[in-house]
Amino acid sequence: MFNKFCQKLHSKELFVTVEITPPHGASIENILEKIQKSGIYKRVDGFSVTDNPLAQLKMSSILSAIKVQQTFKKPVIATVSMRDRNKLSLQSSLLGANDFNLRLILALTGDPAKFSDQPEVKGVLERDSTLLLSIIYRLNNGVDYSNKPLKPAPKPIYPFAVSNAYAKDYKILYKRMLKKLNYGARAIITQPVYDIENAKRLLEIFQEAKEQSIRESSKDAELIFGQFPAVRAKTVNFIADRVPGIKVPKKIIDEMNLAAMDGKTKEEEIGLALSKETFESITSLHPKVHLMTHNRFDLCMQIIDSFKSN
């Protein structure tokens, strides 16, 4: 399962993963039913599961990922946030996940605890996501963070990292990509990309970072473009105005604002058409995409099916 996943990621074929947000509750069955009903599991190469995004309480990302992987027999990337765990907890969680064959890990620093919906939450945050990448590097060498041999040693773990999609000074993004590659990241997923020129620039600096990385594994590292299909003008404007590290072209903002004036149906129609256009242009440049849709698997299907029918 993992060999096929990695081969596809490193090939020139279309590679698509879809993000899942676990529920604010004690069962993920409803989400599994939505995935089953949509048929999205037949169209994608794998899934990812978020870890308390915006510090909002959700079901465990690792346990949710195990259940998704076992249900659909598709590789699942489990997001692990530095915000909520220290070195001991991180290692313990990864070793337990490894025994259940959950071996794709997205290392994330995590959104600030001040955004939490839980009272008086404090972040642990011993360090940024590079600490988790360091831990994975050691585990992959058969030792824990204190260099004590693990018996038995874990099965190989494939570490992912994240990157902003845009910055006024791309040298900042380059330095952050290089740092994560040097710490062992095998793939980097970007924040949503809406502009083809933005995508081209990201590819350029990623390639440069690969060439400068001290890690041999970086030679095979991959960049995966995030895409958040926005079908509401309100969402597009919020991303453009309030979410750092993402650039939304004025053309998309204007088209969505005009469509919203003609009602919700027209708004969603134009939003879907623009999302399909973005998906096609990005995958034509570099066919590696990670779809984020807040569990709108029907929307993912429309975008993917449209591309495959061309």
Domain CATH code at residue 35 = 3.20.20.220
Contact by Cβ (8 Å): 205, 170: yes
What mean pLDDT, rounded, does the chain reach?
Answer: 95
Tell me 148's DSSP state: P
Lowest mean pLDDT among 196-205, 216-225, 300-309: 300-309
**Among 215, 228, 137, 231, CA closest to 181:** 215
Q: What's the rounded mean pLDDT across residues 251-269?
A: 95
Q: What's the rounded mean pLDDT across residues 111-136?
A: 93
> Token match 């360091």: residue?
134
For residues 265 and 272, what is the distance between their CA atoms, to the nearest angstrom?
11
The boundaries of the domain holding residue 221 are 2-309
Helices (H), 80-163: 87-99, 129-139
The percentage of the chain sitting over the pLDDT mark of 70, rounded to a whole number, equals 99
3 has pLDDT over 90: no
131 has pLDDT over 70: yes
307 has pLDDT over 80: no
Three-class secondary structure of residue 175 per DSSP? helix
| 306: confidence class by pLDDT, cuts 50, 70, 90 | confident
Instruction: Count the domains in the chain.
Output: 1
Give the per-residue pLDDT at 195: 92
pTM: 0.95
Q: What's the rounded mean pLDDT across residues 273-286?
A: 95
Give the per-residue pLDDT at 308: 57
**Among 213, 214, 217, CA closest to 186:** 217
309 has pLDDT over 60: no
